[in-house]
Amino acid sequence: MQQPPLAAFFRALLAEPRKIGAIAPSGGRLARLMTSEIEPSAGKVLELGPGTGVFTRALLKRGLPARDLTLVELEARFIAPLQKRFPDVAVLQRDARELAAYKAELGLQAAIVSGLPFRNMPIEVVSAIVSGGFSLLEPGGAFYQFTYGHACSVPEDVLVALGLKSNKLGRVRLNFPPASVFRISRKQE
């Protein structure tokens, strides 16, 4: 696996600061916490907003087979670097707001790992992405999301309306900026 293409990150950040929503790629500690519950034998995993691939690398390091991982990234500048760095992983240039429409193509997923900048998105968009994500998640599947805040970046109203709950896995102080990780799952499970 090659090193992260940081130049691509900073070019994208300068051009599209709201879409990127971070001043630096996530650190290794945050990546380990984000992926800590995903076993190598979990099944299919979807990553949203991989950017330079910090979480992708952590998932592969945990032993998840590359064939089980699909990346959905909107920003064109990240696509070729991701394909080069992870040649055996499916990299799709798609909009996470349209997830429900990709159900037939992607199939059911065991987990979703999201680096999307929810705090920069309108509540309707967050709701559409989470709802679309759960339409792809098999029973017992979980959606992992980080945020620089202390509270879950999916508002409680949205969780309740979608029949979901959030649990905080922890906070990584030694990330820049510090970040919290949440597991979002169905309430009735």
Ligand X SMILES: C[S@@+](CC[C@H](N)C(=O)[O-])C[C@H]1O[C@@H](n2cnc3c(N)ncnc32)[C@H](O)[C@@H]1O
2 vs 41, beta carbon nearer ligand X: 2
DSSP character at residue 91: E
168 SS3 class: strand
Q: Are 121 and 54 in contact (CB under 8 A)?
A: no
Residues 22-41 interacting with ligand X (rule: CB under 6 A): 22, 25-26
Residue found by looking up tokens 């055996």 in the block: 88
Q: What is the spatial distance between Cα 85 and Cα 62, in angstroms, rounded to a whole number?
A: 17
Nearest-10 crossing angle of helices 76-85, 6-15: 170
Judged by CB under 6 A, the residue of 5, 8, 20, 42 near ligand X is 20
Could you say whether residue 81 binds ligand X (CB under 6 A)?
A: no
Total chain residues near ligand X (CB under 6 A) = 23
Q: What is the spatial distance between Cα 101 and Cα 23, in angstroms, rounded to a whole number?
A: 31
Judged by CB under 6 A, the residue of 35, 75, 85, 141 near ligand X is 75
91 vs 110, beta carbon nearer ligand X: 91
Residues 117-146 interacting with ligand X (rule: CB under 6 A): 117
Judged by CB under 6 A, the residue of 5, 38, 46, 51 near ligand X is 51
Could you say whether residue 21 binds ligand X (CB under 6 A)?
A: yes
Q: Which amino acid type is present at position 169? A: L
Q: What is the spatial distance between Cα 25 and Cα 58, in angstroms, rounded to a whole number?
A: 13
Q: Measured from the CB of residue 160, what is the shortest distance to ligand X in angstroms?
A: 23
Could you say whether residue 186 binds ligand X (CB under 6 A)?
A: no
83 vs 165, beta carbon nearer ligand X: 83
79 vs 165, beta carbon nearer ligand X: 79
Which residues have C-beta within 8 Å of that of residue 106, sequence separation ≥ 6?
A: 44, 46, 70, 136
By the criterion CB under 6 A, which residues form the site for ligand X?
A: 19-22, 25-26, 48-51, 54-55, 72-75, 78, 95-97, 115-117
